[in-house]
Chain A
Amino acid sequence: MSDIDLTRLHPAIEAYIPLGRSGLLPALHAAQRIYGWLPQEVAAEVARSLEVPLADVHGVIEFYSLFYNEPVGRRIIRVCTDPACGLKGADDILRHLCEHHGIEAGQSTPDLSLTIERSPCLGLCEQAPAALVDDKAETNIDLDAGSYELGRPRSIVGGSLRLLTEHCGNGTTSLAKYGEYIALKKALTMKPEDVIAEVKSAGLVGRGGAAFPTGVKWEGAAKADGDQKYIVCNADESEPGTFKDRILLLDDPHRTIEGMCIAAHAIGATKGYIYLRGEYPYILPVLENALTEARAAGYLGEHFDIEVRLGAGAYICGEETALFESIEGKRGFPRVKPPFPTTHGLFGQPTIINNVETLCNVPLILHEGAAGYRKIGTEKSPGPKLFCVSGDVAQPGLYEVPFGVTLRDLLDMAGLHSAPQAVLFGGAAGAFATFEHLDVRLTFEDLRAAGLPLGSGVVMVFDESRDLRDVLKRLGHFFAHESCGKCYPCQMGTQRQMEILDRVAVGKTLAGDLERLQDVGWTMTDASLCGLGQTAAGAVLSAVKLWPGLFDSGR
């Protein structure tokens, strides 16, 4: 194919050449922006320029959903078909779009003007049904009225507190409006170990899903030997039902940046990364602009600077070690742990990786002091917490509350129509609750006792009219699509689970399917290599326990 003009490629990828392999994802993004997809000649030229083996470049292109090695349409519409959107008619929208353009999902029009795809959760669940049209969010799609919103998504923020969300809900907060990094200034007057001690005694634990004590993590990285230490902000937010980090970064990017600066001081890091999920392209310019402001104000510079890396469509890259691999220019395969990131993280160096919301708590802790911070929330779960409420409530949105309110309190704020049939807690990787759980207090300890994972703060509500088998089917498809394929239990288990859930959804189960589903589920949970496989059956197994009748065969 001689019609591909490689001369346009060089200026676009030049900046990434010094990064070597680590520049691979940015270079492929840049190349794809020029050619619309990644033809063989282009991939080979990127490989040559960055000195990455050809087969490895191909392996990377193949891993990430947003990279294409065959021609795609000049416009790409990705329709979310995960649970929150499924409830609001996502399948109808997809069908309508496909019929209108005479193609199937996953195909392009013959003139290559358009490609339509099914997408995993786009982090727009409170404005479902949603789609991504090239770089723009399309939300509240209403087929009957023919209406939708397109562009930067709105931020719907509620709750009884406005600490983390202080600056959310009114567009992006500039540095001028955010004000000086007062918490950072205070931290810089303190010894690094005192900053860590403050975070520790505040009792902050990670908000990305694993609930690990943040101060302990920082201490580990501070003490670890390494020529270069890194701070990584995990903004890969891809857990179905989760959209909190989208709002925090779009509306208040400086809070996260300030949190990273404080972490850098605490462990002596000179370099930071924000790994932003590929399906949040509209956040990229907001972050770049905020970083420019922070550099101009002297908060970032030689002593510590931050680079944004854009993912390319892979839920697994939210897993911390897969995320490192991705920044290093590889397929997002999770690493075997130990060793842990605090000693062997990004590029094998001591690394702190924290979720956006976790980092947003840090300036607050420095501001209020650990004692002041602990006045919020409960003894064992101090601080404010963000919940992503979606599904069958009057006001889906992001709710900030102190730890310790009950599920009922939260749902009252969001306007519960009627007693819910089910609540999906913690996301696809979570578990189901029922109306019997309405009075559970939202704290780490109470939820643990109730067998419910807090996860990333997802609370997805399903009313009595909903068919939970349809929800389970969507979860099954999500995990089968997102398994990285490294370890056997999850690589094959997510596929087998999906096949059985497909049968359950249409009421055509085979004899023995319930036992099969449980064997697969427990094997994934017990024997998988990383958190994806370990939680891929969580919601399903909780449903088996709560509603065994759903899985009855012989209809």
Chain B
Amino acid sequence: MTSKLLMDDKEISVEQGQTLLEAARENGMDIPTICFHEATTSNALCRICVVEVEGMRLLQPACIVQAADGMKVQTKSERVVRARRTILEMLAATMDLSDAPEILTLMDEYGARVDRFPEAERRESALKDDNPMYVRDYSKCLLCWRCVQVCADDAQYTFAINFSGRGYETQIGTFFDRAIPETTCVLCGQCVGVCPTGALKPKREYLLEQGMSPQEISVMNTGRKRRKQK
């Protein structure tokens, strides 16, 4: 079964059950996403993918709303652009985007200003370097939830990480902020793999950035191993 709909005044047909995002992408149109990831359950929480659907009072997240016959969708209307630009500007006032090139590109595209919100309290957090596999820098976290999901029932069933705080103060965290080796974490690295920014980073990559040479890093690693064998 296929459905026909109008997207930005262009007629497109899609398979039933497809989302507006899939419909757009298959037809060569672009809708930006941040939290969406093929391998994780969609929570529709970043709202950067919102579009205007005729007959709906509010903007709709394209990553989960299913395409239906006769729908009329605007993916770049004034309302849509205002919401996307404001979300991006708020992100820039909240977190460190230096390791999020895709977001920076989007900001350019939407004319979003990094300094739109002066005197804003930022979400800052000290770097956590507590295990041999990866470092955590939650100043760069955009709370997409992917790491929590792959650590839990989207993949690994390890449940090592969850949230702390609420609202603006939400952060990814462990049980009473324990160091990673003191949690159920099995160092599978899936969270690092799905993190869209540099908030979760392989330790090696981090050390290289800090100016260590590959040789120094491997000595460090073998050193660690040797100590363990004693």
Contacts and interface: CB of A to CB of B under 8 A. Distances in A.
A480 B43 CA distance: 21
A492 B94 contact: yes
B162 A488 contact: no
21 contacts: A54-B184, A55-B162, A55-B184, A59-B164, A331-B166, A480-B168, A481-B167, A482-B167, A483-B167, A485-B163, A485-B165, A485-B166, A491-B143, A495-B167, A496-B117, A516-B117, A523-B87, A526-B58, A527-B58, A527-B59, A529-B44
A489 interface: yes
Contacts of B175: 40, 43-44, 54-55, 57-58
Contacts of B94: 492, 495
Q: Which 7 A-B pairs have the closest CB atoms?
A: A53-B159, A59-B162, A485-B170, A54-B175, A55-B162, A483-B167, A492-B90
Interface stretch (B3-11, B16-24, B46-54, B198-206): B46-54
B100 interface: no
A40 B90 contact: no
Interface in A487-516: 487-489, 491-496, 499, 503, 510, 516
A529 B91 CA distance: 17
Contact of A40 (B121, B167, B176): B176
A523 B48 CA distance: 11
Contacts of B48: 488
A56 B159 contact: yes
A37 interface: no
B143 A499 contact: no
Interface in B130-166: 143, 152, 159-166
B184 A487 contact: no
B168 A494 contact: yes
A503 B116 CA distance: 16
B44 A336 contact: yes
Most chain A beta-carbon contacts within 10 A, residue among B42, B89, B162, B183: B162
Interface size class of B (residues with CB under 8 A): 35 or more
Nearest to B90: A492
Contact of A43 (B165, B174, B176, B184): B176
Interface stretch (B78-86, B188-196, B215-223): B78-86
B121 A495 contact: yes
A404 B50 CA distance: 39
A56 B143 CA distance: 16
Most chain B beta-carbon contacts within 10 A, residue among A56, A59, A527: A527
Contact of B91 (A54, A492, A516, A525): A492
A368 B21 CA distance: 51
B164 A336 contact: no
A492 B94 CA distance: 8
A522 interface: yes
B189 to A, nearest CB: 17
Contacts of A55: 159-162, 173-175, 183-184
Interface string A441-483: 0000000000000000000000000000000000000001111
B211 interface: no
Q: Is the interface of B mostly helix, strand, loop or mixed?
A: loop
Contacts, number: 150
A181 interface: no
A516 B86 CA distance: 9
Contacts of B168: 480, 483, 485, 491-492, 494-495
Given A519-B82, A534-B58, A489 B87 contact: yes
A180 interface: no
Contacts of A487: 44-47
Contacts of B183: 54-55
A69 B87 contact: no
B64 interface: yes
Given A54-B183, A480-B168, A495-B167, A526 B159 contact: no
B86 A519 contact: yes
Contacts of A166: none
B209 interface: no
Contacts of A481: 167
B154 to A, nearest CB: 14
A481 B169 CA distance: 9
A429 interface: no
B61 to A, nearest CB: 8
A43 to B, nearest CB: 7
A528 interface: yes
Nearest to B47: A527
B45 A62 contact: no
Given A62-B166, A520-B90, 8 more contacts: A69-B176, A336-B44, A485-B143, A488-B87, A499-B119, A499-B121, A526-B79, A527-B50
